[in-house]
Structures are given as C-alpha cells and as structure tokens.
C-alpha cells in the first residue's frame, strides 16, 4: 500500500510539474506575442511618421547674414531655360564688372564658383595687367548699366555700358560680350552647375 501511494504521489508530482512547465511556456509565448504586437505597432507608427515627413514640404530658411527668412519649399522639376541662363549671365556680369576697387583676387573670388579653371587663369592675367599697367597708381572703380542679354540656340550675347571711374572721372564705354557656357558639377555656391568657359568682349560696340 505504501508503495502504491508513493507511486501515485510521484505521478501527481510529475503531472503537476509538466503542467507547470506547459503553463510557463504558454505564458512566455503569450508575452512574446504581446511584445511583438507592441513592437510592430511602434514600428508601423514610426514608418507612418517617416513617410509623412518625407511627403511634407520642407521648411527652407534663407540666411543672408543680416536676417533669416523662412520659406516652404516644393519639390518640382527644375529646367534650365532661357530665363535661367539670362539670370545667370546677369549675376555673373555684376560680380565681374561691379567693384569699388580693382582687386583681382577679390573679383576672382566672386566669379570663381561660376568660372572654369582655364578661363579663371585668363581673367586673372587680364585683371593683373589692368591693375599693374593700364591703371597703375590710380583709384579705379567700375559699374555697368543698361544691361541687355540675348539668348538663342546659337549664341548668348550681352550688351551694356561699362561705367569706369578713374580718379573720380567717369568714363562710359558701350560694350558687348558673347558667352560660352558649359555644364559642370553642382555645388553649394553653384546649384545649377553652369560655368562660363569663355568670354569674348568688345569695348566700344553699340548695344543691340
């Protein structure tokens, strides 16, 4: 009798142990399911936030050093057309021909991001000659006026009046320049990737 009771007790202990293990495994599986569902929900929420932010128009801040102006940007295809080329040439001529002092290094620093290396060397030689030979020892400043730019499939021509002040004496020279523009790498300072590769300038021509 004692042996039978002992066997029954052992069987009950084994069955109880098996039940406890099964419940423990069941609880772990339930925990992993809940944790997985929570993790999946968080991941889905983060994915929705990322997609929403990527589709949302970004906020762009224009900072010119004096003030910061926020703008809402829009993703659009940007096409370099005649208007963009005309604006590019206009800004280039202002950087090249508007200065209060004939300082070749400063002028080259301004037009450098928009000029090919070969043309930069030629412009540097020209500016040095004007400073050291043509206007040596004189106070010189320059501006341009009456700027007109003609853009076609064959040529890019700008006509303007070059206003040169030599020792406070103003001299007006009608000028005309044809431009050779090439595509290159886009940079922070040159986002369109347009570079001036050649300038053929004639002073004394009548603007068209």
In a domain, 11, yes or no: yes
Q: Indicate whether 174 and 94 sit together in one domain.
A: yes
* The residue to which tokens 């050291």 are assigned: 132
Q: Indicate whether 89 and 172 sit together in one domain.
A: yes
Q: What is the 3-state secondary structure (H, E, C) of the chain?
A: CHHHHHHHHHHHHHHHHHHHHHHHHHHHHHHHHHHHHHHHHHHHHHHHHHHHHHHCCCEEEEECCCCEEEEECCCCCCCCCHHHHHHHHHHHHHHHHCECCCCHHHHHHHHHHHECHHHHHHHHHHHHHHHHHHCCCCCEEEEEEEEEEEECCCCEEEEEEEEEEECCEEEEEEEEEEEEEEECCCCCCCCCCEEEEEEEEEECCCCC
In a domain, 67, yes or no: no
Which pLDDT band, with edges at 50, 70 and 90, does 41 fall under?
A: confident
Is the pLDDT assigned to residue 193 strictly greater than 90?
yes
Integer Cα distance of 102 and 141 in angstroms: 7
Q: Indicate whether 116 and 193 sit together in one domain.
A: yes
Q: Indicate whether 131 and 33 sit together in one domain.
A: no
Question: From residue 173, how far is each of 13, 86, 161, 170 by CA, in Å?
Answer: 112, 22, 6, 10
Residues forming a β-bridge with 180: 198
Q: Indicate whether 100 and 8 sit together in one domain.
A: no
Report the CATH number at residue 154.
3.10.450.230
Is the pLDDT assigned to residue 29 strictly greater than 80?
no
Q: Indicate whether 102 and 194 sit together in one domain.
A: yes
Can you give the residue range of the structural domain that contains 86? 82-203
- pLDDT tens digit string along 67-81? 676 766 666 666 788
Number of domains forming the structure of the chain:
2
- pLDDT tens digit string along 54-64? 666 666 666 65
């Amino acid at each position: 009798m004692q042996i039978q009771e002992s066997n029954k007790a052992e069987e009950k202990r084994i069955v109880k142990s098996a039940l406890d293990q099964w419940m423990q495994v069941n609880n772990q599986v339930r925990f992993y399911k809940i944790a997985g569902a929570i993790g999946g929900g968080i991941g889905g929420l983060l994915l929705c936030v990322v997609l929403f932010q990527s589709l949302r128009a970004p906020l762009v801040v224009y900072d010119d050093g004096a003030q910061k102006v926020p703008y809402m940007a829009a993703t659009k295809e940007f096409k370099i057309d005649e208007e963009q080329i005309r604006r590019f040439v206009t800004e280039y001529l202002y950087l090249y021909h508007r200065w209060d002092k004939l300082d070749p290094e400063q002028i080259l620093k301004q037009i450098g991001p928009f000029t090919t290396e070969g043309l930069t060397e030629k412009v540097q030689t020209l500016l040095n000659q004007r400073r050291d030979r043509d206007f040596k020892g004189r106070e010189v400043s320059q501006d341009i006026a009456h700027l007109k730019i003609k853009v076609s499939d064959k040529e890019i021509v700008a006509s303007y009046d070059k206003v040169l002040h030599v020792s406070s004496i103003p001299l007006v020279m009608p000028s005309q320049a044809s431009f050779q523009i090439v595509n290159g790498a886009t940079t922070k300072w040159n986002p369109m990737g347009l570079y001036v590769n050649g300038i053929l300038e004639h002073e004394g021509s009548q603007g068209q």
